[in-house]
Amino acid sequence: MDKLNSYSLSRTFFNWSFDNPDLIKPNHIALYFFIIEHANRLGWKKKFGIPTIMVMEAIGIKNFRTYSTTLQDLIKWKFIKLIQVSKNQYSSNIISLVQPKIVENTTYNSSLDFALNTKSKNDAEVQSNVEEIKVTPTIDNDDPILISNQIEAFKYEISTFKSLFTDIMLDDFFNYWSELTPDKTKMKFQLESTFGVKNRLHKWKLLDEQFKSKNNAGNKTSNSSLEKIANTIKTQCADIPE
């Protein structure tokens, strides 16, 4: 296997990005190229850790859920391979960079090359017989590691609201919305068209308080009825001659 290098990895990535504008986002580019830079500084180790907090700070991602989703996309698209899942947001995921496949071809390197060469054909001669670096990432939604990552990301996001809600309520909320679909590829909350954790938690708290209020009202009514019955019995007993 040829040694990894920044040129081949970046060329592969941008070839794919150009062909998939509906999938790529700036977060993907920032994270992938930070990983390349990190690997380069480590001497292109086959496996290495990417500390979550450090990476988020370096590329300007503030939300852990956004970071986790971005990382999962790069894994699904086969640009990186996840070796070991981090235990929490303070530990590292262990990953390795995927070696791009090099294919000999006499055509343009990619549709991106074609677009660039077409634009500059009046300024320079278009070269042919060049090496093509192409990758066709696939998406594997059945990967248990990916759904495990999603569950951890969801759990962590909920935990960030500990100052606003009780631990019991947060646990109940998590257990309800993290229920997996029969095929174990999605959680219940992912089936919703929109889902803001903070807003849902406030609604959950409101409904919980309303439920408890109704129960308390029912208990008071029951206690009041019991008191009336008890008083009636006492009155009737008082009227009985000794």
- Tens-of-pLDDT digits for all 242 residues of the chain? 457 888 889 988 999 999 899 999 999 999 999 999 999 998 898 999 988 888 989 999 988 889 889 999 999 999 999 888 876 656 688 999 998 765 444 444 556 666 666 555 545 444 444 444 444 444 444 555 567 777 877 888 888 888 889 989 999 999 999 898 888 888 888 888 888 888 899 999 988 888 777 776 666 555 566 566 566 655 555 554 54
pLDDT value of residue 115: 62
Q: How far apart are CA 107 and CA 19, in angstroms?
A: 16
Could you give the C-alpha distances from 216 to 104, 223, 227, in angstroms and in order? 75, 10, 16
pLDDT value of residue 135: 44
pLDDT value of residue 36: 94
Pairing of strands 92-97, 48-51: antiparallel
pLDDT value of residue 176: 92
pLDDT value of residue 105: 44
pLDDT value of residue 121: 54
pLDDT value of residue 139: 42
pLDDT value of residue 228: 62
pLDDT value of residue 134: 45
pLDDT value of residue 101: 65
Determine what percent of the chain falls in helix, strand and coil, rounding each to the nearest 5.
55, 10, 35
Q: Is 38 helix (H, G, I), strand (E, B) or coil?
A: helix
pLDDT value of residue 111: 65
Quote the tokens at residue 114.
């074609």
pTM (predicted TM-score): 0.52
Angle between helices 26-41 and 6-19 (to 10 degrees): 170
Could you give the C-alpha distances from 115 to 8, 9, 18, 21, 109, in angstroms and in order? 19, 20, 10, 14, 11
pLDDT value of residue 231: 61
